[in-house]
Amino acid sequence: MTVAIEPARPEERTSFLVTAHGLTPRERAVTELVLRGHATAEIGRRTGLSPHTVQDHLKAVFDKTGVRSHRDLVATLFARHYEPALTRGADASTARPEA
């Protein structure tokens, strides 16, 4: 038996993150649209929800993730989960082989 370990792809990472924070399926859908850069009104159009209901879901997401805004949500998830992986990758690519 062979086991291969590789870094998660971005879409897998997002799935893990929203699951780890205990988001409901609707909160997850709203969060994924926020992470793609959509504003509340656009999220409402895409999900068939009123902007008020989108805001209610976002309040729950913000409480569960410890942030206060769309911008904070994106920045926090990036800083916690994506940036360290990027930094590790950059460190590995610039490291010189030992003699």
Q: What does the DSSP assignment read for 34-63?
A: HHTT--HHHHHHHHT--HHHHHHHHHHHHH
Give domain status of residue 4, yes or no: no
Query: Which domain range does residue 45 map to?
Result: 14-86
Do 58 and 40 contact (CB within 8 A), yes or no? yes
- Whole-number Å distance between alpha carbons of 44 and 95: 46
Do 78 and 34 contact (CB within 8 A), yes or no? no
- Is the pLDDT reported for residue 52 higher than 80? yes
pLDDT of residue 40: 95
Lowest mean pLDDT among 22-26, 53-57, 90-94: 90-94
Give domain status of residue 77, yes or no: yes
- At residue 89, φ and ψ (nearest 5 deg) are -65, -40
Give domain status of residue 7, yes or no: no
Give domain status of residue 97, yes or no: no
**Domain CATH number, residue 42:** 1.10.10.10
- Is the pLDDT reported for residue 51 higher than 80? yes
- Is the pLDDT reported for residue 9 higher than 60? yes
pTM of the complete model: 0.68
Average pLDDT over residues 40-57: 97
Count: domains in the chain: 1
Q: How many residues does the chain have?
A: 99
- Is the pLDDT reported for residue 3 higher than 50? yes
Give domain status of residue 39, yes or no: yes
- Is the pLDDT reported for residue 56 higher than 50? yes
- Whole-number Å distance between alpha carbons of 65 and 35: 13
Structure tokens at 17: 């993150």
